[in-house]
Amino acid sequence: TGRSLDPAVQPKYYNTPETTIFHKGALIYGLAQAKSAIKEQDCGVLVEGQVDVVLAHQCGVNNTVASSGTALTPTHLKTIGRYSKNCIFSFDMDVAGTKATYNAFFLALDVEINARVVTLPKPYKDAGEAIAHDPEIFIVAIQNAVPAMEWVIRNEKERVVMSSNKDTPLTPVQKKTIVQGVLPYLSKVIDSIERDEWVKILA
């Protein structure tokens, strides 16, 4: 697997064809170097890019891994789950990264991984950019990661509020729209106590 260093060279990530040894849906980039730290800290940090992994390790966040230039799969999360049931998602701060975070959380609920989500401050669009400017930015963002369900609730509310006057109270229809966005995730929470707590927060 490789990554272009020149933005003009596309594709950005380039993988060899699938083989018995190289199976993108199962391999986790950096796991060999990160698994001890994931076990010790009882948490893995999942980023999108391979360069993000390298930079994260260089700044001391040694429990960082990435999928090998492909979409996250249940197999990836199950593999991380062998070392810890806790995972922090730090994906790109763009539309594609937001979609990837939603998908990752959906999968995490299926394999009973406790997920949290990183929000990087503007103007940084990914972990690598933040670390290159100042490693402390990424380290603090990791420390401030919020539970994924909280992230989904906040995102759904922001999405609905953006289309209206922010100073006016939410209408019943807007509230319904927010709940409809959160419900697919909420319904997958197996533990009834945890689910009830999220229902209260959502209410």
CA angle 96, 99, 105 (to 5 degrees): 140
Percentage, residues of the chain above pLDDT 90: 76
With residue 135 as reference, give the H or E element that holds it: helix 135-143
What is the predicted pLDDT for the residue at 93? 93
* pLDDT per residue as tens digits for the range 7-53: 899 888 788 888 888 888 889 999 999 999 999 999 999 998 889 99
- Reduced to 3 states (helix: H, G, I; strand: E, B; else coil), residue 143 is helix
Percentage, residues of the chain above pLDDT 70: 98
What is the predicted pLDDT for the residue at 197? 97
What is the predicted pLDDT for the residue at 3? 80
For residues 96 and 92, give the distance between their C-alpha atoms in angstroms, rounded to a whole number: 7
What is the predicted pLDDT for the residue at 162? 81
Concatenated DSSP letters of 117-133:
E--PPTT--SHHHHHHH
Q: How far is CA 137 from CA 44, 53, 59, 144, in A?
A: 18, 15, 11, 11
What b/e sequence results for 153-167 when a residue is b if at least 16 CB atoms lie within 10 Å of its CB, and e otherwise? bebbbeebeeeeeee
* pLDDT per residue as tens digits for the range 154-194: 999 999 988 666 678 889 999 999 999 999 999 999 999 99
What is the predicted pLDDT for the residue at 164? 67
The phi, psi pair for 89, rounded to 5°, reads -95, 125
The phi, psi pair for 120, rounded to 5°, reads -85, 145
Answering whether pTM is above 0.85, one says yes
Q: What is the CA radius of gyration of the chain?
A: 18
What is the predicted pLDDT for the residue at 168? 81
CA nearest 3: which of 76, 60, 77, 55?
Answer: 55
Q: What six digits make up the tokens of 143?
A: 């420390």
Give the burial class of 152: count Cβ atoms within 10 A of its Cβ; 0-12 exposed, 13-18 middle, 19 or more buried. Answer: buried
What is the predicted pLDDT for the residue at 170? 87
Q: What six digits make up the tokens of 34?
A: 């990160």
* pLDDT per residue as tens digits for the range 51-99: 999 999 999 999 999 987 678 999 999 999 999 999 999 999 999 999 9
